[in-house]
Amino acid sequence: MMRFSNKTALVTGAVGGIGSAIVRALVAEGASVGMVDTNAVAGQALGAELTAAGHKVFYVSADVGQFAECEAAVSAIKTKLGTIDILVNNVGISPKQNGKALKVWEMPPQEWDTVMSVNLNSAFYMTRLVTPDMIQKRDGRIINMSSVAGKAYCDIVAAHYAATKAALIGATRHWAADLGEYNITVNGLAPGRISTPLLKMVSQETNDAVAQVTALKRLGTPEEVADACVFFASDQARFVTGQILDVAGGWLMT
């Protein structure tokens, strides 16, 4: 029995390392998935591949840091696949310069603002847009992609990234409280170091060093994050809300 038959999901940053693993895990359980990303070439390719495999997916190009683009994307996905039952606010960027996180006195205000918009505002925009339908249905699942860097100091990332990931933890608790009476759960994932394109922005030595201080002595895979996302999206997690689950192999345990 597939867990998400007759469910429609929306995933942001859907063609990235973790996003595409989440999309694959959701369609494998029968969900229809609206995929939102800025990478149109990879988005169309993933859409074509999954459609050919018999899955119901729809790719929309949008910069989720802009409210109007989120509005257009949600509207297009609703028309094509129906109202959203599962929202995965997965998108995230972690800009660096030559593999190094910029210090506060070096940070261009424009870069700070972009990270706020893409990592944090997008989650609010999407949640704001899909919750009226979820409230009406008295059913919904929202999963926010935080990071262990939002819970503990981690010198690999810059303050803008850590600030947005910490903010998502606060928002997760508030949205869980706001939406609980409508049978909508809101939870967050805090991945550790996961092998995706995002990781290639820092040196191999840095990633090897993280593996060494991780309890399980290795980096994680996108599929391991997707498994935890499927749990939060599923009926098995129906009495779990406002929680942040580390998927970090025991790195930066808090």
Ligand X SMILES: NC(=O)c1ccc[n+]([C@@H]2O[C@H](COP(=O)([O-])OP(=O)(O)OC[C@H]3O[C@@H](n4cnc5c(N)ncnc54)[C@H](O)[C@@H]3O)[C@@H](O)[C@H]2O)c1
DSSP 118: I
Determine the size of the site formed for ligand X (CB under 6 A): 28
Residues linked to residue 35 through DSSP beta bridges, in sequence order: 11, 59
Q: Which of 121, 127, 131, 147 binds ligand X (CB under 6 A)?
A: 147
Regarding 140 and contact with ligand X (CB under 6 A), the answer is no
Identify which of 178, 167, 48 has the alpha carbon closest to the alpha carbon of residue 115: 167
Whether the CB-CB separation of 21 and 220 falls below 8 Å is answered with no
Point out which span in 31-39, 79-87, 124-132, 134-142 binds ligand X (CB under 6 A): 31-39
In the range 154-213, which residues lie near ligand X by CB under 6 A? 191, 193-194, 196-199
Distance separating the N- and C-terminal Cα atoms of the chain? 36
Our answer to whether residue 161 is catalytic in this structure is: yes
Q: Which of 101, 118, 129, 184 binds ligand X (CB under 6 A)?
A: 118
Whether the CB-CB separation of 202 and 21 falls below 8 Å is answered with no
* Active-site hit among 59, 125, 161, 182: 161
Task: Give the nearer residue to ligand X in terms of CB position, either 138 or 218.
Answer: 218
Task: Give the nearer residue to ligand X in terms of CB position, either 183 or 243.
Answer: 243
d(CA 147, CA 164): 9
Regarding 249 and contact with ligand X (CB under 6 A), the answer is no
CB of 154 vs ligand X, minimal distance in Å: 10
Regarding 17 and contact with ligand X (CB under 6 A), the answer is yes
Regarding 57 and contact with ligand X (CB under 6 A), the answer is no
Residue 22, both tokens: 């989440």
d(CA 254, CA 86): 28
Regarding 145 and contact with ligand X (CB under 6 A), the answer is yes
Regarding 241 and contact with ligand X (CB under 6 A), the answer is no
Q: Which of 29, 39, 111, 231 binds ligand X (CB under 6 A)?
A: 39
Regarding 92 and contact with ligand X (CB under 6 A), the answer is yes
CB < 8 Å & 24+ apart, contacts of 93-101:
93/118, 93/119, 93/161, 94/157, 94/158, 94/161, 94/198, 94/201, 95/158, 95/160, 95/161, 96/158, 96/201, 96/202, 99/201, 99/202, 99/203, 99/206, 101/155, 101/156, 101/157, 101/158, 101/161
Regarding 25 and contact with ligand X (CB under 6 A), the answer is no
Q: What are the residue numbers of the active site?
A: 161
Q: Which residues of the chain form contacts with ligand X (CB under 6 A)?
A: 12-13, 15-19, 37-39, 63-65, 90-94, 118, 145, 147, 191, 193-194, 196-199
